[in-house]
Amino acid sequence: MEKIGVVIVAAGSGKRMGTDIPKQFLLLGDKPILLHTAEKFEKCKEISEIVVVAAKENTALSAEILKDITKLKTVTVGGSERQNSVINGLAALSDDIKYVLIHDSVRPFVSEGDILKIIQDVRRYKACVMSVKTKDTIKICDENGFVKETPDRALLWNAQTPQAFSLELIKKAYDKIIQNGITVTDDAAAAEYIGTKVKITEGSYTNIKITTPDDLKTGAAILAAQ
């Protein structure tokens, strides 16, 4: 079976959390958020190896937190922007990895079922983004704050992670992004930039991204309910 790797992006500073340490190192229950996240991929039999990308000053701490993660290949240093951190993570994967899942370190509630679902999809479509249907009506506004358009909610999705790709494809996409000086906010946008059709893999609303104190409270409630 073709091997699958995971890049966990953990290089953020967590300014919106308002704490002295990055949010991925905060405790959720009795262990750091980063460890919760890594354990989800550690337990998935389809995953061959995990690469974690951390800020230079936090690589040792990350490695210590993840010392019992047997699939951890390395903790590598992040870049100035998220996309640079992802590129560094992709470069650290083993040569025999065929597909890669790229995941935010602060999404600790991704389920094994959803991981398996996106793995199944990426083997078929080569580029996938875990997403959930938008619950709210979305307004597109002009530069003065007046509504220009109300798009059909049935066609709108909130992108999450993991996002999954053929490793060759996403490396090619990021090469082109860097070459042309483009900045993207997620990995699917890099694939889209080179004309790739990206498939939606429907995920779960509990797969939240913990970025604010309110998110941390919500995460504690989700954890208590499991």
Q: pLDDT of the chain along its 226 residues, tens only?
A: 799 999 999 997 666 666 778 999 999 999 999 999 999 999 999 999 999 999 999 999 999 999 999 999 999 999 989 999 999 999 999 999 999 999 999 999 999 999 999 999 999 999 999 999 999 999 999 999 999 999 999 999 999 999 999 999 999 999 999 999 999 999 999 999 999 999 999 999 999 999 999 999 999 999 999 8
State how far the Cα of 88 lies from the Cα of 153, in Å rounded to an integer: 36
CB contact at 8 A, 109 and 222: yes
- CA 84 to centroid of chain Cα atoms: 14
Segment holding 52, helix H or strand E: strand 47-54
Q: Contact 118/125 with Cβ under 8 angstroms?
A: no
Q: How far apart are CA 6 and CA 129, in angstroms?
A: 14
CATH architecture, domain defined by 3-225: Alpha-Beta Complex (3.90)
Query: Angle formed by the axes of helices 82-91 and 167-179, to 10°?
Result: 140
pTM here? 0.96
What letter represents residue 54's amino acid? A
